[in-house]
Amino acid sequence: GAWNREVKRLMIGHALQHVEMVEFHVGKDNLRSRRAMEKIGGSLSDRTLVVEMVGVQVHHVIYEITRDSFASGPLASL
């Protein structure tokens, strides 16, 4: 809801005061989280990551939000 988006806006905005870009590792097959990332302005990068969890390899895609994309993205207008 509205509180969730506001918390995301505050956290990402705070991080971007200190770094140029934040990145999010999302399970490749986790379509709900991938849609949520796109909804808040995350841009799918061409990079991937494989993480071993309990002996199983889990493939992740990487979403990015830069200072510029945040300033003009959906969270900027809250």
pLDDT, mean of residues 30-45: 96
Task: Give the Cα-Cα-Cα angle 23, 32, 54 (nearest 5 degrees).
Answer: 70
pLDDT, mean of residues 38-62: 96
pLDDT, mean of residues 26-46: 97
- Report how far residue 1's alpha carbon sits from residue 50's, in angstroms, rounded to the nearest whole number: 31
pLDDT higher than threshold 80 for residue 6:
yes
Lookup result for tokens 């590792």: 25
> Which two structure tokens, joined as six digits, stand for 44?
């799918």
Please state, for a pLDDT cut of 70, what percent of the chain lies above it.
96
Give the pTM.
Answer: 0.89
Fold of the CATH domain 2-72: Aminopeptidase (3.40.630)
Domain definitions of the chain by residue range:
2-72
The reported pLDDT for the residue numbered 78 is 60
Computed from CA positions of residues 38, 23, 20, 44, in that sequence, does the dihedral angle turn out positive or negative?
Answer: negative
